[in-house]
Structure 1
Amino acid sequence: MKIFKHYFTTFFIAALGLLCFSCSNEDDPKPDPNPLDTSHFDIWVTVGEGTSGMGADPGAQLVMPTKSLDEQETIDFAGKGANVSAKLNQESIIKGQYYYQVPRSDDRFGKYKIGTNGIETVKEFVWGTNTFTARKYTHAWIDENTLVIMAASGAKDKVLWTKIDAVNMKILSEGVLNLPALPSGGTFSTSGIASYRSSDNKILYSYCNNKDKVRFYMAFVDASDMSVVATVSEDRAEFMAGTAYGELLQSKSFFDENGDYYLACNTVIPGASSSTQQFGTLLRIKKGALDFDKSYLGYRTPSKGKGKIITAEHLTNGKALLYIMDPEFTGASGWGADYNCYYATLDLNSDKLTVLTEVPFSQGNFSQRSAVLGSKAYIGANPKTSNPCIYIYDIPTGKITKGMTITEGYSFDRIVALLD
C-alpha cells in the first residue's frame, strides 16, 4: 500500500496557527484569514508500492503541489509532478517556501524550491570544518533566518553544531557541544532532537548513549554562543521517539500555547522479542525550566497506553494529535510492516485518549501523514482495503470529513505545507 508522509516544521505551524486563531477587533470585526490563501501543499509519492523514508531507497519520487486537500477527488500523478529522486531526499527541513537539506551528494548543504518543472537550486555551500551526512542530523531555527544543525561525529564521540545564515546560505559559526563525557565506551545517538525555546533563547537538545539505552539526556544550550548551561538525565523512558533522524520527516515534539515543551518518548516492552515493540510516554518541560516536570507523565491510558508513539503534534487548547503503533489494539498480525497504526487525540491535562474512529487503521512506521494548519488537522490514512486518503479534522468542533485520495500505483510518502 502507499505511504503518506509529512513533516511540518514547528515554526511554520506556530506562525500560521497564530494567524488563524487570533481574535478580531470587536469594533471592526474581520474574518480570520485562511492560511491557504498564501500557502499550498506539496505531495510526495514514489512510483510503485512499498515504504520509503528514514534511510530506505525510495526509487523514483515525484512531487506535485495542490492548493487544497478538502475536495473529494483523486490525485493522479500520471505524466505530472517533478521527479526529485536524483537530487533530494524527502527527509528535509522546511520553512517558508523552501526545502533545506544535505542532498544526495552528501558533501554540501542546500536551499531548494520544487516546482512543476523540477528542482530550483537557490544556493548551496560546501562544509567547513564540521561535516554532516544526508538524513542524519537534527535542527532548530533560532530566529527567522538562522538555522542550527547538529549531529554526532562519525565516531559518535562528540556532537557537532553548525550555525547557518539561511538567507545568504553561509556558515556563521561552527563547533562542538561541550556536553558531559559519556561513560567509557559510550557513543552519542546519531542526531537526537533539537527544539528552540524562544522565551529564554535556549536550544533543548535531547540525546542518548547508544551503549546504555535505559535513560536519555536533555541539554539546555545557550543559542547565542552554543554553550551548554545545564544537562539532566531522564529514566522514565528509555529514549526519545526519534534518535537518528531528528525531525527531518516526523514530528516528535512540540510547544503548547503556554510555552511548555512536550517530547514523545518510547521504551522497549519488557520481554519483547524485538526492540521495535515499544510503549510510549509523553514528557514535559515547563516554560523556563531546566529539567523535566516530574509531576507530569502523559499517555498513561491503561487500555491504549501500550502502543508506540510514532508522531506527536500540538492541536490547540491543551490537546495533541498522536499517531500510534499498537498491533494488539488494531488487530494486526504484528509489529513492523502491517496495518497496525491509528490516530488519536490526547488531552494534555486529563490524559484522556480519544481514538479517531473515522480514520482507518494504517500501515507505516516511518511516516508523517498529518499536518496541523490553522483550525484544521489534515490526517492521512494508508488503509488495507482502499487507496490512501486524507481526512480533515476540524479542531474547534472535532468533526471529521473525508478529503482527497491518491490514485493507484504510487506510494504516498509525504505531504508538506509551504508558503506560495
Structure 2
Amino acid sequence: MRKIYLLVIVATSIFVGGLFTACSNDDEPNRNPDEILGVHYDIWVTPGQSTGMGSNDAIIVQNLKSLEGDSTINFKNTGVDVTAKLYQESIIKGMYYYQIPKEKDRFGKYQIINGQIITVKERPFDKNTYKDRRYTHAWLANNELVVMAANGEANDVVWTKYNTDNMTIEAEGSLDLAKKTRVKQYSTSGLATYRASDNKLIYFFCEKAKKATKQVFAAFINPTTMAVEKLDSTTVGEEMAGTAYGELLQDKRFFDDNQNLYLPLLSSIAGAKSATSKYSRIVRINNGEEKFDKSYIGMNTGTNNGKIVTCDYVGGNKALLYIQDPEHTGTSKDNRLSKGWGANYNCYYALLDLSTNVLKEFTYKGKALPYSSGTFSQRSFILNNKVFIGVNPQDSPACVYVYNKRTQELTKGITIATGYQFTRITHILDK
C-alpha cells in the first residue's frame, strides 16, 4: 500500500523530526520497547454490540504476525473463543496473560496461541481473595507481581505478591489505610504502579462512600515491607480515570522519559444530566517526589470537554489519548446532556503536548481518523518506533492505522471484517 504522509489540522506537521524519543513500557522498565523483536499481535473481537465490563457476548482472539498491510481479518472458523475460560481484562507481560479466570477462585497464567488456550499454571486463592476483573497490579521485578484491591467490605486495601515463574504466593497482607486516612469506603481496585528509579510502589485510590470527599489519594509504599510511608492527595479531580477495574483492559497512567508519573483524573461536568458526563485533567508526580506537583495541570485546555479513556506515552513529552467527547464528535450538541454519551461513536484519538497542553487530533488524508465506539477497549500501543491506533467506526469497517515515528509516515493497516466489535489489540512475545 502506498504510504501516506500524516496530515494535521495546521499546516505544519505535529510530528516533526526529533518529536519522539524513547518509548516507555511500565511493565518492563529496564527494556527499551524499540528493541523488542519476535512478537505477535492478538486481536480481540466480539460478534455482538456490547464489549468490556458486563458484556455477555462471546470473545474471540486471533494471533497475527503483522498489523500492517491491506489484508482483511475474518474470524469465521478461525481464532479461539476464550469466553468460557478467560476475560479480556487481563495482566499482560512477555509471553503470558495473567488473570482471575471464569472460575473466579484462583489466579492463573495463560497463553492464547495456535487456536487454543494454554493453562500454564493456576494458583488457588489463599488468605486474600479478589473479584474477577476488579483488581490492580504492579510488576516489582521481572517475576514478582503485586495484586491489590479493596477488600470485601471496601474498608481497607489488601495485597498479594506472586512469583510468576512458579505462580506461588510470596506474601499477603493489607495496607491498613483505615489507620492513616478518614476514608470509609475505598474505590474497588484503585491504580498501582512501580517507580523503579527509587524503588517505590505508588497506589492511587479515592473514596466511594456517600458524601465522600472529592479528591484522589496517592499512597507511597515500601515494596519490600508493603508499609505505607507517605500519603498525599489532590482536589484537581474527583476520581481517577481508572477507578474500579485497574489497568486490566486499559492504560490509565504513564511515565515520561524522566520517570515523572502522569495520572488522568475525572470530574463531573457542572449541570450534567448523566453520571457519565465528565471531563479530564492530568496530574503529575515528579520523579523522586512523594507528592502531587501542584504547579502542573495537564489537559487544561480552557474547556471542560474531553473525558480521557486511555493514555499512552509516545516519547518526546507527548501522550497519545483516546478521548470521549460527544460535542467534539458530533453525537451531541452539549456534553451536559445524556444524549451522545454511552455506546455512541463519540471517541477520538489525539496527541497531547505535556509541556504546552496543546491537543492535536490525528488525521489521515486531511480528515480526522474515524470516530469510534467503545469506552471499555484498548486499541492502541507504541512498539518498535511505531504508534498503532485501532478505530471502531460506525460507517466503515474497523481497522488499524500505523504511524512510523522514524519516517514520519502514516499508513492504513489491517481491516477487521464487518460483523465484529473490535475491542483490543495486544503485543505478545513469541519467546
Please say whether Structure 1 and Structure 2 have the same fold, judged by a TM-score greater than 0.5.
yes
TM superposition outliers: structure 1 runs of 4+ over 4 Å? 12-16, 180-185
What corresponds to 1:332 in structure 2? 331
1:238-257 CA-to-partner distances (Å, cap 9, x unmatched) read 11101000000000001111
User: Could you tell me how far apart the structure 2 residues matched to 1:407 and 1:13 are?
Assistant: 33
1:22-75 CA-to-partner distances (Å, cap 9, x unmatched) read xxxxxxxxxxx5x3x4111011111x2312112322x22111111111111100
The TM-score with structure 2 as length reference comes to 0.88
- Distance change in 2, residues 1:70/1:117 (3 Å): closer
Matched, 1:107 2:105: yes
Matched, 1:394 2:404: yes
Instruction: Determine if contact 1:13/1:373 at 8 Å carries over to the other structure.
Output: no
Matched, 1:248 2:248: yes
User: Any residues of structure 2 matched to 1:278-317 within 5 Å, and which?
Assistant: 278-302=278-302, 306-317=305-316
User: Any residues of structure 2 matched to 1:192-271 within 5 Å, and which?
Assistant: 192-211=190-209, 212=212, 214-271=214-271
User: Could you tell me how far apart the structure 1 residues matched to 2:180 and 2:142 are?
Assistant: 34
SS in structure 1 opposite 2:315?
A: coil
Instruction: Determine if contact 1:11/1:95 at 8 Å carries over to the other structure.
Output: no
- Distance change in 2, residues 1:184/1:194 (3 Å): closer
Unmatched segments (≥5 aa) in structure 1: 1-8, 21-32
User: Could you tell me how far apart the structure 2 residues matched to 1:397 and 1:298 are?
Assistant: 28
User: Could you tell me how far apart the structure 2 residues matched to 1:279 and 1:405 are?
Assistant: 31
Matched, 1:354 2:373: no
RMSD in angstroms over aligned alpha carbons? Answer: 1.7
SS in structure 1 opposite 2:327?
A: helix
User: Could you tell me how far apart the structure 1 residues matched to 2:224 and 2:89 are?
Assistant: 27
Aligned partner of 1:66 among 39, 64, 67: 64
Unmatched segments (≥5 aa) in structure 2: 1-23, 333-339
1:395 deviates by 2.8
SS in structure 2 opposite 1:328?
A: helix
- Distance change in 2, residues 1:373/1:274 (3 Å): same
User: Could you tell me how far apart the structure 1 residues matched to 2:357 and 2:193 are?
Assistant: 23
1:311 deviates by 0.6
User: Could you tell me how far apart the structure 2 residues matched to 1:184 and 1:326 are?
Assistant: 34
What corresponds to 1:373 in structure 2? 383
User: Could you tell me how far apart the structure 2 residues matched to 1:349 and 1:388 are?
Assistant: 33
What corresponds to 1:364 in structure 2? 374
1:182-223 CA-to-partner distances (Å, cap 9, x unmatched) read 877820000000010011111110001102151111100111
1:15 deviates by 5.8
SS in structure 2 opposite 1:315?
A: strand
Instruction: Determine if contact 1:13/1:372 at 8 Å carries over to the other structure.
Output: no
Residue identity matched to 1:384? Q
User: Could you tell me how far apart the structure 1 residues matched to 2:113 and 2:259 are?
Assistant: 35
Query: Matched residues, percent identical?
Result: 47
Residue identity matched to 2:311? A
User: Any residues of structure 2 matched to 1:142-161 within 5 Å, and which?
Assistant: 142-161=140-159
What corresponds to 2:134 in structure 1? 136
SS in structure 2 opposite 1:339?
A: coil
Instruction: Determine if contact 2:221/2:230 at 8 Å carries over to the other structure.
Output: yes
The TM-score with structure 1 as length reference comes to 0.90
User: Could you tell me how far apart the structure 2 residues matched to 1:227 and 1:56 are?
Assistant: 37
Matched, 1:342 2:348: yes
User: Could you tell me how far apart the structure 2 residues matched to 1:185 and 1:346 are?
Assistant: 33
Residue identity matched to 1:49? G
Aligned residue pairs total 394
Residue identity matched to 1:254? F
User: Could you tell me how far apart the structure 2 residues matched to 1:254 and 1:185 are?
Assistant: 26
What corresponds to 1:177 in structure 2? 175
What corresponds to 1:4 in structure 2? none
- Distance change in 2, residues 1:12/1:188 (3 Å): closer
1:414 deviates by 1.1
What corresponds to 1:26 in structure 2? none
User: Could you tell me how far apart the structure 1 residues matched to 2:274 and 2:328 are?
Assistant: 18
User: Could you tell me how far apart the structure 2 residues matched to 1:230 and 1:180 are?
Assistant: 14
1:181 deviates by 4.3
